[in-house]
Amino acid sequence: METLRIVTLNVWGGREFGPLMDFFRRYEDVVDVFCLQEAMDHPNSPRFEAHAGHEVRGDLLEEIIRALPGHRCAFAAHDDQPTWHSQAMCVSDRLIVGPACTATFDWDVSGRFKPRKLQRRAVAASGRSGVVVANFHGLWNAGPKTDTPERMAQSIWLRAELSDEADRGMPLVLAGDFNLNPDTEAFACIRRAGLRELVTESGITSTRTPLYRKHGIAGESQFADYMFVSPTLDVRDFRVLPDVVSDHAALYLEIALPEDDALCADHE
């Protein structure tokens, strides 16, 4: 029985650059798929200050690719705004990989939010069944991660996208930084897509690290990052990794891939 090992991590624009690169080098031979949020791919601006006292790396994707020579990385760029951060997915060379595809959420009644991407790839090991891995980063408004009209609309849109994947007949792993509290209606809307949500199911109490400005403060939510899986998938391991390389913690998932047909080459 072969397994697929997935990590999701908001890389925070590379603010903790040295420890982050060490993280990728340490886990390169362990992790098959990295789902990354707040990656950047504009190497003409290698370093700049995004917030007071915080330097981010425009060349971050380039540096991640160097740190992961055994993986192929795809970036979900915003064509009209190439300097925006977005998702990146890095997949081990040992896997069969389907075409990368993205969908964009751009519904905003307030004018405060940048469009968001849902990045997807179908992956499989030779002679094993395929899995669709989806990488998501939810709307952020500099405030609490509570229900808003935009977040509800986003969850309805995301659930429709997931329904399309279910219709294709392949199991799904949905990972990322959702910027939602687990007690919101917007979060419940995603759960109604019929997926297992592993963070709350596992009794995890925080997906943030000590670098988070509200870390450990009573009454402040310590949640942002989640992993959802199709109920047919055999979860062998799920946990928060101890590495402090961002204000978000990395989540680690290992699932079994039963013997089946290999990945269909025409999956889109």
Model confidence at 255: pLDDT above 80 = yes
Residues 6+ apart with CB under 8 A from 171: 129, 131, 132, 229, 230, 232, 233
Question: What is the torsional sign of CA 185, 142, 74, 35?
Answer: negative
Model confidence at 24: pLDDT above 70 = yes
For the ranges 11-20, 51-60, 193-202, 233-242, the lowest mean pLDDT is seen at 51-60
136 burial via Cβ count (<10 Å: 0-12, 13-18, 19+) = buried
Distance CA 217, CA 241 (A): 21
Distance CA 35, CA 50 (A): 22
What digits encode the pLDDT tens for the residues 171-204? 999 999 999 999 999 999 999 999 999 999 999 9
Classified as helix, coil or strand, 231 is coil
What digits encode the pLDDT tens for the residues 241-251? 999 999 999 99
Tokens for 176, please give them. Answer: 């990322």
Model confidence at 137: pLDDT above 90 = yes
* pTM for the model: 0.92
Element (H, E) at 64: helix 60-67
Classified as helix, coil or strand, 49 is strand
Residue with tokens 């294709």: 168
CB-based contact 241:251 (threshold 8 Å) = yes
Question: Span 147-166, mean pLDDT?
Answer: 90
In angstroms, the Cα distances linking 4 to 80, 91, 226, 256 are 34, 11, 17, 6
Residues forming a β-bridge with 16: none
Model confidence at 62: pLDDT above 90 = yes
